[in-house]
Structure 1
Amino acid sequence: MSKTVGGLRFWATGYTLLVLLTGTNLPTPLYHGYQQKFGFSPLTVTLIFAVYVAVLIPSLLIAGPLSDAVGRRRVLLPAVALAMLGALAFALAQNVVWLFAARIVQGAALGAASGPLTAALTELEPHGDRRRASLVSTVASVGGLGTGPVLAGLLAQYFPAPRVTPFVLEIVLLIPAAVTIARLPATTTTTRWRPRRPQIPAAMRDIFATSGTAGFLAFAVVGLSLTLIPTYVATLSGSRNLLLGGAAVASVLACSAVAQVAGYGRSARALQLSGLPLVAAGLVLLAVAGSVSSLPLLLVATVTAGVGHGLVFLGGLTAVNHAAPAGRHAEVASTFLVVLYLGTGVPAVGVGFLATASGLFTAVQVFAIAVAVLCLIVLAALIRRRATAAEIESGAA
């Protein structure tokens, strides 16, 4: 296979990851309209998001090791078909049950695809550059997370059939993704698949624990953005423009993508040490923005948190990709993604419960301060571990 063909497959695989994540985040700016049409609470919004994560996680754990054993194509083609089915269910939704069903299907699709696509990018990178493969994977992921809300907000605000058009477009965009998967090279392996609990190779457990904890906290910010920030923005601005809410979410993820490109080439530890305090600062600004009812401050908060998220995400995935042993790339990547998606889903449900009980502003402020404190604790642990390692090295010398 020539490097040109290999390069095309590499970028086409990145496109597939981008489109899948775009589709799963199209509903974000539409939830407020669904609430009005179908009559449900902010808690229901977070539960719709949570059921997606609840299905996504076991799908990740099954599909990652399975693709290591049977090959990427056999897992990814059904995943793309499920993504199309989920988009169709949203386009045809008649009540809240349809929304739950659509999110369940989308969760199964993305769970089945995320680990294998991340591993495929590492394997298809023409020069074997794992750092570059990690960058493309993280940028495609956050690019899809950010493109979905903006695209849906734009189409829903200015085009006919606001709750249908975004999902029809997603189905169209998935067609070349299916062609890409069908043309992936066949893989041969001696690995046999069997159901088992998630396992991390012993040699990389410390790296995984550090990167996973930091990633969990960074993705808690994404979970809040995807579920409640559009409503938060609408309340602060007094505007019902769907594009505004989608753009606020996208600003978090666009800044994340830019930060990843800017941070490319730096060590995984340096990225995490830089990113965690920015996530904490963005969250504190978010809490203050609600207290003073300031939309500009809210936008500053999203930019700051987005930059921090990008650095933490890239640092974590880079560390995990470098440490993963041959033959277990998809399994390790899938387990890491499980931690990130838990960060996306679990805190968001808690915020939904709190918002129902005490109001949206109070819920967001409590969440923001709690996660900011945890970010600083993890940052302190990283600094302490680094200092301890340096002492051990100097003592050994």
Structure 2
Amino acid sequence: METADTLPPTPGARLQAVLCTAAFVLLLAGTNATTPLLPVYRDALGFSSLTVTLTFFVYVGALVAVLFLAARPAIVRRAPLMLLAAVAIALAGDLLLATGSVSGVLAGRALAGISGGVGTGAASALVVAAIGARGRAVSATGNLAGAVLGTAASELVLQLTGTGAVATCFHLHAAACAALALPLAASLVARRAVNRRLIRTAPVERTDMRPILRRHRGALLSGALAWIAISACIVFLPTYFLDHRLPVVQALGIPALLLASLAAQLSSPALARRLPRLSGMLPMALGIALILAAARSGSTPAGVAGFVLVGGGAGFAYRCALLRLTGATSPAAQGRLASLYAAITYSVAAIAVLLAGMLAQVAGAGPVTTGLMIALAITAFLVRPVAARAGPAGHG
């Protein structure tokens, strides 16, 4: 069977891989740009707590629904069109988000979720079609790269422009989407015949993907646990360390976590050669233990180090699980599995965060956060035997 691995590398193929990866990172950067702006929505624009919460769940709901739809063979087969549509949808969402109104922000967040859902499988399929096995982890690595870029850029614009960042962030993102659209379209048109051959859907790929998910349920469990840890840290720990009067940990913790996650994914090939049994679960558990110890002792270095360990372990585990699921699949199957993997892990994380938030309304944020972190650490430690690992055997 013809694959990108059997074809000679060409400048056009490499350009497609770069542009499709850039498009996916840009899509995810746009969805994460809202995070630093949430206090502005609440304090300067008068959004209620319910409305601020809805900005998260509208996005996640749209994202997960579209990810499940995007796993259908008929959708993956049209990956080039889907990725271009995702960029256009993201641009439209930016214009709505830039209005700063409740209706505009909620509608824009829904479109951001749709664009992320449409783009995940499409970008993954197109990168694998261009450069083969080297591109299998793009949906995991691009996710974290987008989170780092979007959060950091939005925070920088916020510091420079104040409340003007509500519009400026999304105008800049819309401009970036428009600038990328033309070269991306040109690249995909130039390689349309090759992409059509490589992203065809063979009969076996039109079958149910659930047996693959069941066969690799340990990997799916460790990937979901990694995304729960990242989501829980982002949602609960800044306030947790504010209450514990550790402002440096509050300010640096999440950026350190995201950067460590990205660094662990980018360095994972080297780690796989040196530590083939590494899964990421143990660093996650140790990092959470350090975070809890820092909150109790008031140690800033321990707190920041804990975030680094959690981020590195979770990012590494998330990538390993995706590689275990996709194995040596074709670009079409890669796109379907990448969409399903993202849909499942995002859904589980959103449910976990929502339940913890509801419990915090009754029992208090501090005790619930402590209990959630302890539960995550214990679960990560227990999941180690079945988690996806760095070496070839761990990737199935």
Using structure 1 for the length normalisation, give the TM-score.
0.82
Please say if 1:173 is aligned against 2:176. yes
| TM superposition shift of 1:99 | 3.2
Please say if 1:123 is aligned against 2:129. yes
The CA distance in 1 between the partners of 2:154 and 2:354, in whole Å, is 23
Unaligned runs of 5+ in 2: 1-7
> Aligned residue for 2:156?
154
Q: CA 1:217 to 1:84, structure 2 compared with 1: closer, same or farther past 3 Å?
A: same
Unaligned runs of 5+ in 1: 384-388, 390-397
Residue type of the alignment partner of 1:364:
T
The CA distance in 2 between the partners of 1:3 and 1:71, in whole Å, is 22
Give the one of 137, 142, 145 matched to 1:143: 145
| SS of aligned partner of 1:328 | helix
The CA distance in 1 between the partners of 2:202 and 2:311, in whole Å, is 40
> Aligned residue for 1:288?
293
* Deviation per residue, 1:48-91 (Å, 9 max, x gap): 32231111112012123256554212212221111112222221
| TM superposition shift of 1:219 | 0.5
Residue type of the alignment partner of 1:111:
G
Q: Identity of aligned pairs, percent?
A: 25
The CA distance in 2 between the partners of 1:325 and 1:134, in whole Å, is 10
Give the one of 80, 86, 89 matched to 2:87: 80
Residue type of the alignment partner of 2:86:
A
| TM superposition shift of 1:366 | 1.8
Give the one of 30, 34, 37 matched to 1:30: 37
Q: CA 1:45 to 1:344, structure 2 compared with 1: closer, same or farther past 3 Å?
A: farther
Please say if 1:215 is aligned against 2:223. yes
> Aligned residue for 1:13?
20
287-296 or 184-193: bigger deviation = 184-193
Give the one of 132, 135, 145 matched to 1:133: 135
Aligned alpha-carbon RMSD (Å): 3.2
| SS of aligned partner of 1:162 | helix
| TM superposition shift of 1:290 | 3.4
The CA distance in 1 between the partners of 2:98 and 2:55, in whole Å, is 16
The CA distance in 1 between the partners of 2:326 and 2:386, in whole Å, is 22
Aligned residues: 372
What are the within-5 Å matches in structure 2 for residues 1-397 of structure 1? 3-37=10-44, 38-41=46-49, 45-65=52-72, 70-95=77-102, 97-125=103-131, 128=132, 130=133, 132-160=134-162, 161-183=164-186, 184=188, 185-186=191-192, 187-188=195-196, 191=201, 199-200=208-209, 202=211, 204-236=212-244, 247-264=252-269, 273-324=278-329, 327-382=332-387
The CA distance in 2 between the partners of 1:82 and 1:228, in whole Å, is 30
Q: CA 1:287 to 1:88, structure 2 compared with 1: closer, same or farther past 3 Å?
A: farther
| TM superposition shift of 1:339 | 1.8
Residue type of the alignment partner of 1:264:
P
| TM superposition shift of 1:252 | 1.1
The CA distance in 2 between the partners of 1:273 and 1:206, in whole Å, is 22
- Say if 1:50 and 1:349, in contact at 8 Å, map to a contact too: no
